Structure 1
């Protein structure tokens, strides 16, 4: 990414001088989208126009310095790609960067880019931010157009971005988010039941850091039993069913036509969606509706729920690939926002000898700008 930018800024703007790494799911004019799969890349046409999110950044003065790796078809929370390997995690060498926006997070953490443009279906922007000690925003579902990108599960897919500082995160939000008014965040809740699920070695440090962040905002942090922990297992199952069905609808035909071109882990996950009974999908959708109502009561406009961004620090690759309990718990931590389409802002939490673990603020739908503005001046 050294030297001249891949795509220079279209004009001067609020992001002039900043460098963007684009996840290999978004259209960049003059290049094909690879979606983390070499066969897909080989067959993909060269794009003639930028995705709207890419174009907005260029119009705001940012330079595109590279197209970066994604997990295959944006599926997976580890950052491991069976075809291309694993981007480094400089915040925790030898451990995974998180995925599927692994390349975006890695490029920012390495200092090769200032802004990582990525996507989040079920944690793919939040987990890399947590594992790499970065800031990120997963917006309200539908707030930023996903046009010009390869989808995974459309009812869950969002565009997201990663930066090193809250201030730059807010500047990107000003560019990519529509101008919609929302009440400022005036109330912070500490989800005690969710912090109780974090590995004990870092739990108390993470709670202390949450109080430090809250103190900088000038808002009190009220400990509550959010009741979310009691529902996470069924919420995760519901999100998993909805995602599987939509993955098959999105990529099933291509998978059938390209047997052997997709890694077994991802191929099996996509294929599973075909066999899910209709009544299972109905249960998942009904569960999601109940969950959305609960979360709407818990975090009305003007309120943010502070919770751990992940249950653990970044695992080494072998554990990330084999520890099903870790994978299940990680999915549980990120499923609520995906299920309800809510915005989540992630901040660096604590750094341990095993690596970072972040903090997340979940808010009401449409509170994206309020979240970004709340943390914009934090250090």
Structure 2
């Protein structure tokens, strides 16, 4: 397979079998190099992890479920180092190229999976989403991105980053393919439609007014009532993002502490700095952040409890160029976390998809109650976003 988009890890091919028939038998599967696949190493975007990996004898249960449903494995894809970024870069293995616009970042950390699907080298991209690593690259590459209800999919044989937020997720080019994936991994069907779509004014104020108008127009096309609320939470988006980042950094340090202590020089400077930030957090800071997460989760339950779905923009700003200065990349990451953290803090599912008739990287997201993943798909179909 020609990989001019630099989406895949350059591993020698190994035989990965799949069922001859099944609901996914017509679809090709690309797997983020965070999941074990028998016959391959698992590098997690790290040269040091790769060196210690060895060839894995067993395949991660979630990957095996997809293979048993007939999906054909086409390779392991690149990821940001330790899956700890939203940009898509990697000093060890290179940055995949965004097929939609090669001048832009591909988004991360599921960069390779998203690029493989966007370039039509795969139909299903399996990745992970901790702080937006499925939803952001889906938006940047014009794809459908699904972050499932936290804890609903099997995460064994998956290298962790921050377990409180880590979730396996998927990217596809179509809602139809994503619906097939949802069914294949055992997502319960939705029994009814939500009563209305909620728009939080403080969220839509974070984006350009013309883009916001197009998003609202797209929502109205579903012929569903739209309910407006002033704010999604009693806390500001900035406070929520800070709590999320505190928990993320604390757990990322615990997940990678041994690696850092053994080979700090083998980790990219920006990733190492983020890990060190987590090491400096005290227990009181982390406890306070977890209390905020619990409070926000309760607020989301109250907001969406009456069979509602929250609509929000996937990205807070346009993605930067792939050669942008570190300060620009950091500003983009910081702005986007304010929206992307909401699903992580609440554990709720989120479905991101391109907005019809919206130029650039217009991507709308739907966030629903826990275990309400299929409801989001039903609403997305009504919005006719593709």
Normalising by structure 1, report the TM-score. 0.92
Q: Aligned match of 1:158 in 138, 152, 167?
A: 167
Q: Which runs of 5+ in 2 are unaligned?
A: 4-12
Aligned pairs for 1:1-379 within 5 A: 1=1, 7-179=16-188, 184-200=193-209, 202-212=211-221, 215=222, 218-228=223-233, 231-300=236-305, 302-319=307-324, 321-323=326-328, 324-349=330-355, 355-376=360-381, 378=384, 379=386
1:249: Cα distance to partner?
Answer: 1.0
- Size of the aligned set, in residue pairs, is 374
State whether residues 78 and 99 of structure 1, in contact with CA within 8 Å, keep that contact through their aligned partners in structure 2. Answer: yes
Are residues 229 and 285 of structure 1, via their aligned partners in 2, closer, same or farther at CA, if it must alter by over 3 Å? closer
1:200: Cα distance to partner?
Answer: 4.1
Alpha-carbon distance in structure 2 between the residues aligned to 1:307 and 1:344: 10
1:369: Cα distance to partner?
Answer: 2.2
State whether residues 320 and 327 of structure 1, in contact with CA within 8 Å, keep that contact through their aligned partners in structure 2. Answer: no
Alpha-carbon distance in structure 2 between the residues aligned to 1:267 and 1:351: 41
1:201: Cα distance to partner?
Answer: 5.3
Q: Which runs of 5+ in 1 are unaligned?
A: none
State whether residues 170 and 376 of structure 1, in contact with CA within 8 Å, keep that contact through their aligned partners in structure 2. Answer: no
Alpha-carbon distance in structure 2 between the residues aligned to 1:23 and 1:136: 14
Secondary structure of residue in 1 paired with 2:361:
strand
Q: Which moved more, 1:4-13 or 1:365-374?
A: 4-13
Are residues 91 and 352 of structure 1, via their aligned partners in 2, closer, same or farther at CA, if it must alter by over 3 Å? farther
Alpha-carbon distance in structure 1 between the residues aligned to 2:260 and 2:33: 19
Normalising by structure 2, report the TM-score. 0.91
